[in-house]
Structure 1
Amino acid sequence: MDFPKLLTVVIAVIALAVVGVVGYVVLRPPTALLSNAAFEMALISPNADGVDDLTTITYSLARPAQVSITLENESGDRYTFRDNERRTSGDYSVLFSGIVGGYTLDGEDIPGDIQTRLIPNGSYTWVIDAHNDDDSASATGTLDVVDADSRPPVISSFSINPGIFTPNQDGISDRVDINVYLEKAADLSVYLEDNAGQRYYLDEIEQGREPGDMGNHEFDYDGGVDQGMEPPADGVYTVYAVAQDAEGQRIMRQGTLEIQDGGLPQVEIVAQTTGTDVYFETQPYDEAMHTTADETGAMIPMPEGVMSDLTTLEVVQGDLLVFKLTVWNYGDTPIRTIGPFPGTVYDFDQQYSTIGAYVEPGAWRVGINCDTALSDFPWRWAIAPKDQLEAVYDETQDATYYYLLPGARAEVWGAVRLTELVPAVNPQDCWAGLIHERVETLQTRVGAREVKIAPGPGSAN
């Protein structure tokens, strides 16, 4: 075949293809971008009674497109259900309960962020619109909304107290209280969120009101420390309260909470370098050592011993049972303590409250107990000398608090004057304990030592 004949054949084939394509387009035009658009029911009553609460929206796309679904009432108010959302080709079906994006009506003043809300009762024209770079299409119809419970779940009150929170079990701002008032029954959740989106949900306090009931709801948060968990890291957190009613209307309110000095307290009485955990000895009593709530007596110096054998320790009636031990803050959180400070001397019939050293929840103290003591750990001391503690002044409480810093070790010592001899319990055991006031006694029987009281001069025993 020569070249002119080949060229003629090629041109003929191309012409035939063009004619075929043109004919196909003329006889069978491209499929419509949007088809089968409909609202299954023309009337809904979205009030969560299970009757006509929903309708189904259906539509089909021949090609990928951006889709919007809006409703407009007779007054020209427009509500958006889907806003320019990208969809691939195919058939679509979605339930519609009258819930659209949040909005407010004229004259309304609703606190917080209205995220979703029912459209008001009335007659609507719905529009499903689809478009892409090459084509667009839309479909319309009507929908009536009746008997809708469109009252939103308003959170009329939302408070966070205190705004600065120190979850470390020192008894100072250890808990945060969040109060939420619901004007309508709704599912309610309250949580903290950090900058990375990590959420920490809070438990509601049981007050006789069921969760989600209309009215006040209180949430208490300790950072997890009371359950032995590390609290969230120090920093500023956003606190959210989210209420969603049975119809799907949702309102969110938010505030801020700052966590400072958070941490799980970790402290213990540690063993001496040699010998038992607690060093015991006896010393004579001096009337100058007598301490009351109004006057602090003379302090005894710290014993020099670093060990004691475990034989029975004999104390002359009226003399002092002296102890010494070591406390270690092995955690990352400062440990708060209260007096009396090491070196203080108790009479047997005294206790910490007798000398004005009352319990302060969250504070830590060392205690001494004996079999004949009139109460549990009646004699208590701070976990370090005052000059080894960090003083922190609290302007709000107008008070100074004392802390043993992380990693610090401190010697604690003191004495009890043993004036009571009980023949039925002689000898008796005496021991030390580490007390977290109004929380727990962590070490309950440390360095137990048998102590025998010997009658003093002129004693009737």
Structure 2
Amino acid sequence: MDKRRSKGDRTAYFSGVIDGRLLPDGDYTMVLEAVDERGRRERVEHAIALIDGDKEYMRIDNLSIWPNEFTPNRDGITDRVTIGYNLNKTATRVEVYLLDGEGTKYPVAEDKIREMGVPGRHEHDYDAGIDLGATPPMDDEYTVVVEAEDAVGNKARVEGTLVIKDGGVPRVEIVNGAAVFSPSVVPLGGTLTFTCTVKNIGVVPVRTKGPEPHTTYSTSENYNTLEEYEEPGIFRVGLDYEGNSFGRIYPFRWQLGTDKELTQIETDIGSETYLMPGQTVSVVGRLRIDDPPVKTAPYYWIGLIHEQVWIVQDRVEPTSISIGF
């Protein structure tokens, strides 16, 4: 240890570990050298023996990173990475992180299933922070680092590569939190129509799916009966109403814009439909009132749904509509 020291007594502690490895049992010579400002050197030696040392070094085996390229933007496609590895023995410290070219660390949360440091397989679920609404690291290639240390001080380190692309937090809004319903009086068997404007105010495209605006639902239908099933990560505008007995909220849902307005992007699951950053579209939804409601003037409202994530805007423009029956 080459450091400047002032005059006086000193105590040095030696654990037997050199460069992250415990020395094998045996006889060694400890050497202490000191050089003053004039270049005069003094050296002392002392015998030291290491016995009954831990003969098993710390190892991290079978590092896996899947997928090794991911897009943390909450569209439900390659939004997460699993980082897995095996520990050969108990570790007192385990650290998993991403390292960029400037040396900045981005920590990866602990294994949620197995206790930290126990021998065996470990898997970390990495989302780049988007589940908490945080902006992920910039698009780039990163080094995934796993470090472990045992009780003696033996250390191990393995590295892999992970590419982040198209990352960002999706941000969409129903403009002004407003919608227009018409007509205000609908006879049984008549059609209620709403119109709203939706804008992508974020920096990443947002995924959406049908049915297209202007599609008409019957009150006896929902998005499942139209075979437009819910999917994690997609955005749609939904219609709900007072007295809904479907067992699910917003049973009537529409795509954010028409197919002609939207952009097709190739993904790991095929071609998907996206509303691009800065793009504004009009969404018109229609509901034919075939079934008598629970009251003559129930409230209807719309919402912006990020499916299986959260309701971005809920109960937008609740409006009482008189139903004639």
- Provide the TM-score with structure 1 as the length reference: 0.66
Specify the alignment match of 1:56 in structure 2: none
Specify the alignment match of 2:94 in structure 1: 188
| Structure 2 residue ranges without an equivalent (≥5) | none
Correspondence 1:342 to 2:231: no
Tell me if the contact between 1:205 and 1:219 (Cα under 8 Å) persists in the aligned partners: yes
Tell me if the contact between 2:238 and 2:252 (Cα under 8 Å) persists in the aligned partners: yes
Tell me if the contact between 1:348 and 1:420 (Cα under 8 Å) persists in the aligned partners: yes
Give the aligned CA root-mean-square deviation in angstroms: 1.8
d(CA) in 2 for partners of 1:281, 1:196: 57
User: How far off its partner does 1:205 sit?
Assistant: 3.1
Deviations 1:293-351 (A, max 9, x none): xxxxxxxxxxxxxxxxxxxx111211211111100111112111111111211111111
d(CA) in 2 for partners of 1:377, 1:96: 67
d(CA) in 2 for partners of 1:372, 1:89: 82
Indicate the SS of the match to 1:94: coil
User: How far off its partner does 1:136 sit?
Assistant: 4.3
d(CA) in 1 for partners of 2:303, 2:285: 13
Indicate the SS of the match to 1:87: coil
Higher helix content, 1 or 2: 1
Correspondence 1:376 to 2:249: yes
d(CA) in 2 for partners of 1:400, 1:153: 45
Specify the alignment match of 1:433 in structure 2: 303
d(CA) in 2 for partners of 1:210, 1:443: 38
Indicate the SS of the match to 2:13: strand
d(CA) in 2 for partners of 1:269, 1:165: 29
Indicate the SS of the match to 1:271: helix
Correspondence 1:220 to 2:125: yes
Structure with bigger gyration radius:
1
Specify the alignment match of 1:109 in structure 2: none
User: Given residue 31 of structure 2, which amino acid in structure 1 is its aligned partner?
Assistant: V
Correspondence 1:99 to 2:17: yes
Match of 2:4 among 64, 73, 87: 87
Specify the alignment match of 1:246 in structure 2: 151
User: How far off its partner does 1:385 sit?
Assistant: 1.4
Correspondence 1:447 to 2:317: yes
d(CA) in 2 for partners of 1:251, 1:271: 55
Match of 1:164 among 50, 54, 69: 69
d(CA) in 1 for partners of 2:282, 2:68: 36
d(CA) in 2 for partners of 1:331, 1:433: 18
User: How far off its partner does 1:138 sit?
Assistant: 3.2
Aligned residue pairs, count: 320
| Structure 1 residue ranges without an equivalent (≥5) | 1-81, 102-115, 283-312, 456-461
Specify the alignment match of 1:415 in structure 2: 286
Indicate the SS of the match to 2:169: coil
Q: Percent identity?
A: 38
Specify the alignment match of 2:29 in structure 1: 125
- Provide the TM-score with structure 2 as the length reference: 0.93
Match of 1:403 among 270, 274, 298: 274
Specify the alignment match of 1:281 in structure 2: 182
Structure 1's consecutive aligned runs of 4 or more residues displaced over 2 angstroms after TM superposition are 85-93, 125-141, 372-375
Counterparts of 1:24-103 in structure 2, within 5 Å, are 82=1, 85-88=2-5, 90-91=7-8, 92-101=10-19
Cα distance change, pair 124–205 in 1 and its aligned pair in 2 (3 A): closer
Tell me if the contact between 1:278 and 1:324 (Cα under 8 Å) persists in the aligned partners: yes
Tell me if the contact between 2:112 and 2:124 (Cα under 8 Å) persists in the aligned partners: no
Q: Using CA pairs below 8 Å that are at least 6 residues apart, which structure has the higher relative contact order?
A: 2
Indicate the SS of the match to 2:131: helix
Indicate the SS of the match to 2:213: coil
Specify the alignment match of 1:210 in structure 2: 115
